[in-house]
Structures are given as C-alpha cells and as structure tokens.
Chain A
Amino acid sequence: MIRPAPRTAAAGAAASGTSQAPATGSALRIEGVHKAFGANRVLKGVDLAVDTHQVICLIGASGSGKSTLLRCVDLLETIDAGRVVFFGHDVTNPAVDEILVRRQMGMVFQSFNLFPHLRVLRNITLAPVKALGMTVADAGEEAMALLSRFGLADKARDYPDRLSGGQQQRVAIVRALAMHPKLMLLDEVTSALDPELVGEVLDVIRELAAGGMTMLIATHEMGFARETATRVVFLEDGVIVEEGPPSQVLDAPQDERTKRFLGRVLSAGRM
C-alpha cells in the first residue's frame, strides 16, 4: 500500500550493528533523525533499527525525546533531517501518503485518547470501517474477538468514561490492534495509570510480545523492560547514549549518563 521509495535503502548498514537471526527482516530503521520545535532541538541525530518480532524499550528521563521519536516514526511530526524506513520504504519521502503509512502502525498514547462520544465498540471499529473500508458487521465481529481476548467483552457497549484507566488503555491498545498494524508504538502507556492498574496493561503488552508483535515502547517500567525487551535503548538529550540487551544496559551500563539515570531511577524505588 505504501508507494515504494525512489531510492532503495541499500545503505542499511548504517543501522547500528546488532546481531540478529537472519529469519527476521527489518521492520523499522530510523536514520539520523533530527527534530526541533523552534529553538528547542529535541532529537539530534537518532539512529535505531527494529527488526520484526523485536520489542525495543526506549528509556530516558522526561524530555529526553522518547515521545517525539515515536511521533516522528508515526509521521505525526515532520522530521527536519534524516529518514524513517518502514519495511524497506522511505516513509519520510514527501511522495509518501503518510495516512497510508499510519494505517500500518499502531500508536497508543499515555492519556489513552479514546473518543469520549463513541462507545467502546465504535471506538475500535471506526478506523477499520472508515479507513480500511471494512463492513460494520465484519469490523464489529473482529473487535468483539479482540475485546474478548483481553477480557473486555462486557465493556463493548459502554462509553469510555465508565471504564477505569486500565480498561481504557487496554481498549486503546485493542483499537490500535484492530488496524492489523505491522508495528506498535507505545508511548508511556502506563504513566497515567494508578499503580494497581499498571499490571493489567503490561500483561496485554506481554501477550502481544509473546505473539511476536514488533514493538517500539517508550517506558519508565524498568522491570517490564528487563523481562520483555529484546533491546533497551537509553535516550538522553536527543541522542541514543547506550543500547543493548536489557541485562547489559540495565545491569551493567557502560556510559556515565546511563549509570546516573539508572541511579536516580533506583533511588526513586522504581526498579
């Protein structure tokens, strides 16, 4: 559905060399991405590669650029320099219809952002019906199957404000899944939740990871990152400072800045 980029992205070697099984292909390559809002330079040359079925956790302090990076990948922001390659297509090329790209990426926000005027079922079926042209019946059937899978079937006819934060966020994830995304982008999806509701949302993400979903996750949940992530990427001040397997980045960080950040997280009792 995406128009092929004019240049074939053969220069993929630029992506940081992580050892990966040859069976998995490249899902996403972020190459030298810069993004500034006015004088505020948020991303200062980010390179990151995500292969299919990988779960990459972005960690870093608020303001380090995690959310902006995810928004740039979802093409909600226009990048200033660099490019984003999605399954072999340069999606930051102006010739690309970003709407077609977004239909293949699922984005979940910190604040859920369910549509308050629509019932849960309609929240989920809106995009499949209006964007993919599915029939209401087919989309509804599929949505009900997804809701059942995540224990939300009895909420289908409720309005979002009747749901707890955890339920709302699970519905938001289901809403993104209903578009059959090839890549999920999760932006601190548990940060706005009461502590006792975090678990149910993380369980959903764990299940997606176990099912092989490719995910790029900005998170403050270090325990979750440790057990679920293929790689952990530490972002500070708009650049990737350190990345590697969770055991390496979280337990034996090399860079001073990573050590300092993890030290602060540890002293806050969040690890």
Chain B
Amino acid sequence: MKPIDPRLIARIGPARRYVIVTAVLGFLTASTILFQALLVSRMLAPVLAPTALTEDGLGPLGRLVPLGARELAQGLPLLALVVLTRVFAVWVQERLAHRAGTQVVSELREAVVQHATGMGPRWIASGKGTEVVTTVTRGLDGLLPYFVRYLPQLMLASTVTPLMLVVVLGLDWPSAVIVMLTLPLVPIFMILVGLVSRDRSRRHLDAMEQLGARTLDLIAGVPTLRALGRERGPSARVRELGTASKKATMASLRVAFLSGFVLELLTTLSVAIVAVTLGFRLVDGDVSIETALAVLILAPEVYLPLRNVGTHFHASADGMAAADAAFAILEQPLPVVGTPGGLVTDFAGVTLRLTNVSVSTPDGARNAPAALSLTAAPGRLTVLRGPNGEGKSTALLALAGLLGPDEGAVTASAGGVEIALSVADADAWTRQCAWVPQRPELGPEGRELSLGQRQLKAYERALNSGRPVLLFDEPTAHLDGQARSRLVGRMVSLARAGATVVAATHDPLLIDAADAVVDVRAMAVRSAP
C-alpha cells in the first residue's frame, strides 16, 4: 500500500492543501525542536563544565543561538518563545487535521454518491447501492485517523528526521555516523521480521476467522434455539470456541508484536549507544559539553517520528481501504442513455414502441427481457405479464428512457414525428414519463410510512402529474381490495383521456382491465462458440 494515495492528492482539493500545510508545519516543528535543544545546552553547559566556557562549543550551528543565551535571563525567555511556537504548531496542526479530514470525507462522499446515482437503476438494484452507502458513510469515516494521526507523523518523519540528521552531522559527525548506521536497520529488520512472520500469522489469522465465524453463527441462532427451547446448551460451546480463538490470537500476536519489539529495541538502543559514546569522548576531550548536550537531546527526536508512523499505520489502513473502494466506484464508466442534448419531442398522444429489445442481466447469463417487441398506444392500458425476473421492470425502465437496451430499439412517435431513444435527449424523454417503481422512495419523510402508504402517495403524485406517459411497476401489489380497484379505475380513465399507460403486474384485476397484454420472457444467452 502506498503511504499517500496519489488520487486523493490529485482529485480532492482539501487533501492537497492539507498535505502542503502539514509539510510546512512539520518544518516549523522541526525548527522548534532544534532551537529547544540548542538553547537548553547553552543554558546547562556553563554549570556542568568544570571551568568557565570561553569559546562557542556548538561550532557553526552556534550562530543560530546567541552566546548570551548561556545566561538564564536571556535564555529562558527565548526558550519560552520556542515552547509557545511549538504549542501553536501543534494546535494548528490538530485543528487543520480534523477540518481537512472531514472536508475530504465530505467531498469524496459527494463525488461518489453523484457518480453512483448516474450508474443507472439496475446497477443500484443489483446490491451495489447498499455497498456504496456503507463505503461512503462508515467506510470513509475511517479516513479521519489517517488524516489526523498518520499523515502528520509521515510528514514529520520526512522533515524532522532528515533535518535532525543534518544538524547532528553539523554538530558532531561521529554521533551522526552511529545514527546513520542504525537508521537503515529499522526498515531492514522490520521487513525481515515481516517476511518470517507472514506465513505464520496468515495461518493464525485463518484459524481466528474460522473460530470467530463459528461463534457468531452460534450467537446468531439464539432466537431460533430459544423458540425451540434449546438455548441452554451452547453457552459452554461459546466459551470453548472463545478460548480456542484466544489461543490462536495470542499465537499470532506473539509474532505480530515482534516488529514493534524490533522497532523499539533498535531506536532506544541507538540512543543509548550515542549517549555512552558521547560520555567517553567527553572524557577524552574530543567533544564540547555544549555539543554533547545538544546531540543527547536531539538523538531521540531523529527516531520518534519513525516510531509514531509505525504506531499509527494500522489505524489508518481501514480508511485507505475505504478510499480505495471509493475511487474504484469513481473510476467505473457511467452508462450513457440516449444522446445528451439530442432530439426532443412532445409526448402528448405518444406511441411508445419496443422493437426486439434485449437487456442482459448483470451476470451476463441471460437476456431479460429477450427480443421483446411491444406497442403502447395512447388511450390504451397496456399490461406486461410474466413471472418475476423475466424483465418486466427492465422493459418499463427502457420505456421511461432510464436505461438503454443492449439490443433493439426504443422509439416514440407523436404528431407524425418518430424518434429513437438512442438519438433523443434522455432527460427530456424521462421528464415526460410518470414512472413508479415497486418500492417508491419519497425522501426522508417517506421512510416513516409503511410500504402501502408510500405506494399510495407515490401513485397520487404520478396520477396527478398530467404527464402523457404513465409507467407503473406492480401498482396493486401491496394494496387491499378497495384501494386496488380504485387505482385500476383511475388508470383506465386516464388512458381513456388519452394517456399512454403501461403497467407490469401479476394482478388478474388489472390484467382483465387491460386493452392489450404483452407476455415478457427472458432467455439464456447462448455462449459464443
């Protein structure tokens, strides 16, 4: 996995700005750490040295901090200023991180939702819709730890660590050599440990997942067991499975924690070696006390961001996976129905025609409908009939201009003009059709209503819309006897008044009232030789 998803930087404005600002803040933080170390060693050195200090012990870097800072009266205010700057940098970083994180999530969510709504009704109905909702709500929220915790540490690791290394090199090159020799060991050992433990932890992971699935299976069945009066037995089994799962988990953790162990061991031990070496070189007079103190304070700071990146890596992995899923949706091509900006015609008194229309199912195994031809004339109630899954709803979608067929043609002729959906403006086409699906959506307030009530409301809207084409999917399915005959009656009277009315149904009442009945059939696609 890449540390920063380039698509995030390229396509989401707040993400790009945030990365730049965080890098600047990283440099600011690095500078405060440097000045803090130099100031502390300036103030502390005179009381540690056996004789009065005469020359600048910090070498060329001493120019950054005046010699006068050896006196508390001058040094302490400077140190306080540095501390305040660092507090400020931390505060700004935190504020920005949360804000940028939520903005990125919002922007990405809006983009994905907008894209998904353009993917067409069949894509949404195939279960992808629910997946999208999960991805853009709970999934993308996982991006916050990535922005708030992981990315800043990554930036610090790429600013503070190299800067401190250069500073230590300027102060005291032998210490810098120790750091430079140990620093590459961190990734090398992490990779080695990772390689050794990968197979083992995968085996443990599999075992854990299996045990977890079996426990959840047992738990999911509680109501069933209760209904049969057999709920008492499995509790011992729950404990047994849990204990086995715990053993597997611990076995995998023993290995997984090794990489953390190596990281901590290498970084702390390196600091210890630097300190001990400095001590012995002080005795020999190879290094000044001021430099020794500054290096002692700076050495842990070289390693700290690396350690933190390791700590926050896993927390951010979920968010990165969600971002990946979001971009996978965004990268799917949008289906184009009709010709945007194409022909427009008035549908008053329109005859809609399907000629040999086939639409392949999402798995490509069947055409539903297959080679369907029908004519829906104005003034008539046309009914589509056939078992579930044969393509009645899909035929309605094609008539409504919501879906382009894979084969065949959808045409509309009114006032002596005939246009095909493929060259028409699909939006203008759709806006003249009052289409009502099986489970109508009425916005947030509609969610409070029962399916039957929602349906009545949706039909109220469609029947009163005054649109010349009415396309209804199983209009009477959830209605009781009285409401059913009332709805059928209104459909018939609207047809008599000149509307083009098409309904998909199983209901004998509606089939009896129809002027024309069309049987809809699916067919298996013959595999190409």
Do A and B pair up? The answer is no
Using a CB–CB distance below 8 Å, which chain B residues touch chain A?
none
